[in-house]
Amino acid sequence: MNLASTIEEAMATRRSCRAFLPTPVPRAEVERLLALASSSASNSNSQPWQVHVLTGAAKRALTADLLCAHDEGRRSVGEFAYQPAADAWPEPFRTRRRRFGEGLYSETLGIAADDSAGRRGHHRRNYDFFGAPVGLVLTVSRAPLQGALVDAGLFLQGLMLSARGAGLHTCAQASFIDYHPVLRRHLTIPDDHLVVCGIALGYADDGHRLDDHRTTREPVASFTTFYDSVGPHRDAAVVSSGVASGSPV
């Protein structure tokens, strides 16, 4: 178990873990992590989030229902969708998403692009929280409008970093929004709440081949603009090289 002893280390070692050990996580520890995450900022201290924690029989029952819905093709996104359909992502996000898929399926798992059954089989593991002993579902009130999703994201990041400080790993799973009616049958979700994501929580299986999967990040120069007293400042070397021509520094 490798604990992250600083915020910087927690940020650097946080990843989307997709292979967990069955080792239980004590309820007291889950409560401690949630208490830490609850210190996250929210607009006007509105704290619009709710968390549903599943273990044991409750998790197994939800998983069985989710897998049945998945296998029968009962996706139900509707008004609860907050992200584009798989084929509707614009650039540059479409390319980044494709690179992620290639790295995960082709390079790490060895599942070819034309092996739809193999890819579907791996995606199916989402609904067992990738074998994690603790499954969480994060919901947020729609009353504060879209700003509540920002608050939920801050809470989620706080939870994931707190987990790293305890030697645990997580995986945030947007795939759960596709089956929100199933979640509502098992969880007491207020009518005004939408499902943000599922979250797998537990100890990483370091011996699993998925443990080798890592994603890349865009350089700071590709998404940042610095301003001084005379206007925006761009790194002349970056712009002239053509690496980020026309992009903010």
Domain-by-domain residue ranges, the chain? 7-217, 220-249
Instruction: Between 246 and 1, name the one with better pLDDT.
Output: 1
Distance in angstroms (rounded) separating the CA atoms of residues 49 and 150 = 11
Domain 7-217 listed as CATH 3.30.1020.10: no
Using omega within 30 degrees of 0 as the cis cutoff, is the peptide bond preceding 90 cis? no
3-state secondary structure of 17: coil
Query: Token digits for 29?
Result: 């520890």
pLDDT at 243 over 70: no
Per-residue pLDDT, averaged over 229-249, amounts to 49
Distance in angstroms (rounded) separating the CA atoms of residues 87 and 84 = 8
Name the pTM for this structure: 0.85
147-165 helix and 27-37 helix, angle to the nearest 10 degrees: 130
Query: Token digits for 209?
Result: 């081949």
The rounded percent of the chain whose pLDDT value lies above 90 is 63
Residue 93, classified by CB atoms within 10 Å of its CB into exposed (0-12), middle (13-18) or buried (19+), is: exposed
